[in-house]
Amino acid sequence: MEDAQPTNRPDGPARVIFCVVGTRPECVKMAPVIAALRQQSWAQVRVISTGQHRELVAQTLGIFGITPDMDLDLMEADQTLASLTARILTRLDPLLAAFKPDLVLAQGDTTTVMATGLASFYRQIPFGHVEAGLRTHDLRKPFPEEFNRVVAGHLASIHFAPAAGAKEHLLRQGAPEATVHITGNTGIDALLQMAARPGPAPAYPRNPAARLIVLTAHRRENFGAPLRNICAAVTTLHARFPDLEFVFPVHPNPNVRDVVQPLLSPLARVHLIEPVDHLTMTGLLRRCHFIMTDSGGLQEEGPALGKPVLVLRSETERPEGVQAGMAILVGTDTEAIVTEASRLLEDTAHHARIAQVTSPYGDGQAAQRIALLCGALLGAA
């Protein structure tokens, strides 16, 4: 970790803003915000990585041309949520004391976000929550994400809600209306930026005539039997449709890797790969026939690219895609997954109806709105 030595603040109206990230999805969705803030003459931005997913953070930020200013280096094997939370608080607090930022920003619903909000609260530093207000209203689903975002909602001084439903959740929770702003989702900003960049040709499918399914699964709620059910569905689909290929970037968590590898690696047309950078993933999404995922980000990115999404969860805090008919909440029952996937593969009219290039999650300008709102909050813009 870089030594926590304060720097002299620049003369004039500049404000110091900490942007804290810990996981790959946070990096994807914070990168446009960091870039937008760096375009503001009044903002001095410092990027803090907690190291919750250290290698993935470095890989992802690098695609956007961002290097963390400080790395808390918190990742430990088999870490518990309690120990991670404690280490974030004890490592971040000295930086807040030394640099005295005017505002701290974090995105989403991870332990990094919750602990960052709490550390900021203890230091009485304004905390801004990006992608605020998502809710399932069940603290155990997803676990611990629902708890993290509820806590962040109570700690934030300013909330950047991606959609009207998220704003309503925050108002019902008691957030003052003047602090809640609908900005759209910064993940769409990042996706559109990547889609506009030239990238390598997708390495999958190996057979150009094959239909490709992008698959991801990493949620704690899906550890164990649910993940084995997902793998069983993939096995059935692999046998039923000889023209299918799957690409599965496998999360490094042993609870995922140790289940997936023995069950799916024997299948010739299931490609288990290391996590890929955002530019490569965007290329895979554009090439695929549809997506199977428990990821929140892919639930947003699929509709923006006209790709149907089978959501491998029993509920979602992103209902807009389901309500618009672009995503199907299928859960983790093997038979249900096979049934819905088979329908997308066999019923071309059904697939075409879902594959609408219309995103309910934003227009690609969320980060600019957030930067302007931060300036207004700090009296700098």
Q: Which of 26, 71, 145, 189 is catalytic?
A: 145
- Predicted pLDDT of residue 54: 65
**Catalytic residue status for 335:** no
- Predicted pLDDT of residue 12: 55
Q: Which of 218, 269, 278, 369 is catalytic?
A: 218
Q: Which of 109, 146, 301, 320 is catalytic?
A: 109
Q: Which of 53, 91, 238, 251 is catalytic?
A: 251
**Catalytic residue status for 220:** yes
- Predicted pLDDT of residue 53: 64
Q: How far apart are CA 376 and CA 381, in angstroms?
A: 5
* Averaged pLDDT in 10-residue chunks for the chain of 381 residues: 39 84 92 96 95 73 90 82 94 97 97 97 98 95 94 98 96 97 96 85 92 95 95 98 97 93 98 91 94 93 93 92 92 98 96 84 94 96 65
- Predicted pLDDT of residue 220: 87
**Catalytic residue status for 145:** yes
Query: Residue 10 gets which letter from DSSP?
Result: P
Which residue shows structure tokens 């993935």?
Answer: 56
All domains of the chain, ordered by start, with CATH? 15-185+363-377 (3.40.50.2000), 211-354 (3.40.50.2000)
Is residue 159 a contact partner of residue 175, using CB atoms and an 8 Å limit?
yes
- Predicted pLDDT of residue 59: 79
For the purposes of burial, counting CB atoms within 10 Å of the CB of 355, is it exposed (0-12), middle (13-18) or buried (19 or more)?
middle
- Predicted pLDDT of residue 7: 39
**Catalytic residue status for 46:** no
- Predicted pLDDT of residue 37: 98
- Predicted pLDDT of residue 136: 93
Q: Which of 220, 228, 286, 350 is catalytic?
A: 220
**Catalytic residue status for 26:** no
Is residue 9 a contact partner of residue 94, using CB atoms and an 8 Å limit?
no
**Catalytic residue status for 350:** no
For the chain, how many residues are written? Answer: 381
SS3 of residue 271 by DSSP: strand
